[in-house]
Amino acid sequence: MSLLPLAAPAALFLSALLFLTEGALASRKAPSLRKIHLPLFSLLLLLSLVPLLFSAPESLFHGQFLWDSLSRCSGLLLGFSALSAMLLLPGYSRKSEVPGAETAALLFLGNLALLLLSSTTHLLTALLALEAFSFITVLLGGILRDRRSSEGAMKTFFLGLTASLFSLFGLALLFGATGKADIASLVSLSPSPLLKAGLLLFLFSFLFKFAMAPLHSWAPDLYQVAPAPLGAYLSTAPKVGIALFLLRLSPALTPLLPFLGAFVIVTVLWGNLCALRQEDLRRLAAYSSVAHSGYMALALLLPSPFRGNALLFYLTVYVIMNLSLFQALSLLPEGPELSPSLENLKGWGKDEPWIAGFLAFALLSLAGFPPTPGFLAKAILFLPALEKGLFLPVGAALLGTLISVAAYFRLFAPIYFSSGSTLKGGDRRGRALLALSSLLLLVLTLWPKGLTLLIKEVFSHV
């Protein structure tokens, strides 16, 4: 048995240790070293995963850890998300209140937990990884440690704890009913009521963390109080880990498809409707991410070859466009009592034409406007869903898309149609990162075939 596949998790763990040590040793006044090696280190890590992308899958510890091309994809997306958070932090308006080394350590540990989650075929490991990440969610979300962020973090913590108890109970039922807790054996068993109930309860915590309505109520509170750079991470990374785990679990979910369908319908409608009413930009982004969870969950209802293709395409596009959105938002100044709202975007189009253009592009893509990648992701998703006859979820998703257009276009009015004093924040790094995300979106717009080919390659190696 080769332990080589463990290299990536080990590297994540060791980096986290490194940063923890540094955080403990370094005085608060010497951040210069951190500034340079933080992003570089993670960039190297990200790149080191790429050559390993397409090789034969390897399974360790009886399937507890499966290192295949899907896990590598997950590593890449998670790496991009964490990298984005780290590059944004130096330009963040309240950076003096964010402990740099500890945040970096938490981001690496978070990626470790999510990488494990997306690389396991065992339900117990999955639940443990998810729980590990939920602690990191709370710590990252409340890292500013003022009253508001502590409140948001605590809400998330207690609600999350309740949700995981359901999952634990579900796992117990499953194990009691079958004596097994790995995905392969769950698929082979004929569905009994006990099995169904167990699976449904087990899913509870996953749907909660995935922010599916009506289990989403923590998300707006947490995203609003988390620093915007960490909001970028918290709104993308967990979706990657959970979505890919659910993709692995999906063959076992066949008896639960109607339940999932109901969740999809409620989520796409409720998320978009709530986004329509928000004044606070990060709450708006939170509800938008809730709605996008619904679209991704719709992919799980599809038959096999389409399921993975649609989900991975949507997930990749979602990560890029949502990071763009948060990268733009993190250029706005924040304060203990100040949360950026629509008003703060006034005059951007005139004073910051490039930043405004990038943000507009991301918004169009989030709204699913053709020819942006957001549209293609939806087309690739809706087409097989209609062929399978999922009229109700697709209808709801289309209606949700319509509502979301109204929601996202509310941002255009202050940006382009009114002038005002612009509050500027952020630094060059953040701007460059936003430009990079937009460039990626542009490449996907002009050459979407590249991504579809890549995804095909991924699934030919699973």
**CB of residue 310 vs other proteins: minimum separation in angstroms?**
13
3-state secondary structure of 60: strand
**CB of residue 412 vs other proteins: minimum separation in angstroms?**
7
Closer to other proteins by CB, 165 or 402: give it: 402
**CB of residue 292 vs other proteins: minimum separation in angstroms?**
17
**CB of residue 349 vs other proteins: minimum separation in angstroms?**
8
Q: Structure tokens of 451?
A: 């991504």
d(CA 413, CA 16): 43
Contacts of 432 (CB under 8 A, 6+ apart): none
What are residue 61's phi and psi, to 5 degrees?
A: 50, 50
d(CA 151, CA 142): 8
Note the residues at the interface with other proteins (CB under 8 A): 349-350, 364, 369-371, 375-376, 379, 382-383, 386-387, 394-395, 398-399, 401-402, 405-406, 409, 412-413, 416-417, 448-449
Closer to other proteins by CB, 145 or 456: give it: 456
How far, rounded to the nearest angstrom, does the alpha carbon of residue 209 sit from its chain's CA centroid?
10
3-state secondary structure of 404: helix
Closer to other proteins by CB, 92 or 375: give it: 375
- 8 Å CB contact between 196 and 123: no
Closer to other proteins by CB, 195 or 394: give it: 394
The closest alpha carbon to 378, from 447, 438, 310, belongs to 310
User: b/e for 311-349, b at 16 or more Cβ within 10 A?
Assistant: bbbbbbbbbbbbbbbbbbbbbbebeeeebbbbebbbbbb
**CB of residue 213 vs other proteins: minimum separation in angstroms?**
21
Closer to other proteins by CB, 156 or 316: give it: 316
Closer to other proteins by CB, 175 or 416: give it: 416
Closer to other proteins by CB, 1 or 417: give it: 417
434: left (phi over 0), alpha (psi -120 to 50) or beta: alpha
Closer to other proteins by CB, 259 or 409: give it: 409
**CB of residue 452 vs other proteins: minimum separation in angstroms?**
8
Q: Structure tokens of 188?
A: 């082979």
Omega within 30 of 0 (cis) for the link into 214: yes
Omega within 30 of 0 (cis) for the link into 371: yes
Q: What is the dihedral of CA 275, 276, 278, 279, to 10 degrees?
A: 130
d(CA 48, CA 25): 28
How far, rounded to the nearest angstrom, does the alpha carbon of residue 67 sit from its chain's CA centroid?
20
**CB of residue 307 vs other proteins: minimum separation in angstroms?**
17
Closer to other proteins by CB, 394 or 458: give it: 394
Apex 203 CA angle, 153 and 458, nearest 5: 100
Burial of 20 (0-12, 13-18, 19+ CB in 10 A): middle
Closer to other proteins by CB, 147 or 388: give it: 388
How far, rounded to the nearest angstrom, does the alpha carbon of residue 79 sit from its chain's CA centroid?
12
Closer to other proteins by CB, 46 or 435: give it: 435
Name residue 122's beta-bridge partners: 182
